[in-house]
Chains A and B, each alone.
Chain A
Amino acid sequence: DAGITQSPRHKVTETGTPVTLRCHQTENHRYMYWYRQDPGHGLRLIHYSYGVKDTDKGEVSDGYSVSRSKTEDFLLTLESATSSQTSVYFCAISEGQNIGGYTFGSGTRLTVV
């Protein structure tokens, strides 16, 4: 979507390796989110950020860490990838808390083998 990009779009990695996914926005929005999408579970929140260096955990945060050193970038790191982390990862941004919904990126398909 315009204003938010995710990279890489696809990645295959081996179990036990670290992986970092990047979300970049050009909208100067304060809030950024990482969700994962799996069959039967819909979208589940991993971590979110409400400002530079301000982050908090979501419902499925185990095995993931995040960093936000500047407004435009929100990084999701899998410290040691496991097969259960094979998923599609979506980043989202919002201008305000509970205002106007989120704008989502196009997603990253991650496969851990």
Chain B
Amino acid sequence: GESVGLHLPTLSVQEGDNSIINCAYSNSASDYFIWYKQESGKGPQFIIDIRSNMDKRQGQRVTVLLNKTVKHLSLQIAATQPGDSAVYFCAETDTGRRALTFGSGTRLQVQP
């Protein structure tokens, strides 16, 4: 697999703590949002998605929050584990577009 040495904002947390990764988007027409995780040497992997008619969605250890008023998306990871260390991307689109637009990413480092 491949990855790049991205110059990214970094969030460093202790193992077991909760992590919050934030994403701002600019297109007020965006109505579908996804969080991806990219581990070193691999392609991005789907984590969770949310549509604009919702403001919160939960998965296994993850929660996505959507605030359409301020065009802000967040990913919360509960009880962060070393395996959560990766780069996290938000992506968004709307019904007028055929493809996702990705944010620039945040690197999560989990300290043992």
Binding site for B on A (CB under 8 A): 1, 9, 31, 33, 35, 37-45, 48, 50, 56, 58, 87-88, 90, 92, 97-98, 100-109
Contacts and interface: CB of A to CB of B under 8 A. Distances in A.
Interface of B: 1-7, 32, 34, 36, 41-46, 49, 89, 91, 93, 95, 98-105
A105 B1 CA distance: 8
Q: Which of A98, A104, A108 has the most CB of B within 10 A?
A: A98
A6 to B, nearest CB: 9
Contacts, number: 76
Contacts of B44: 43, 90, 102, 104
A34 B103 CA distance: 16
Contacts of B93: 98
B43 to A, nearest CB: 3
Say whether chain A's binding surface is mostly helix, strand, loop, or mixed: strand
A106 B2 CA distance: 6
20 contacts: A37-B3, A37-B4, A39-B5, A42-B6, A50-B98, A87-B4, A90-B44, A98-B32, A100-B46, A100-B49, A101-B34, A101-B36, A101-B46, A101-B100, A102-B100, A104-B43, A104-B44, A106-B1, A107-B2, A107-B43
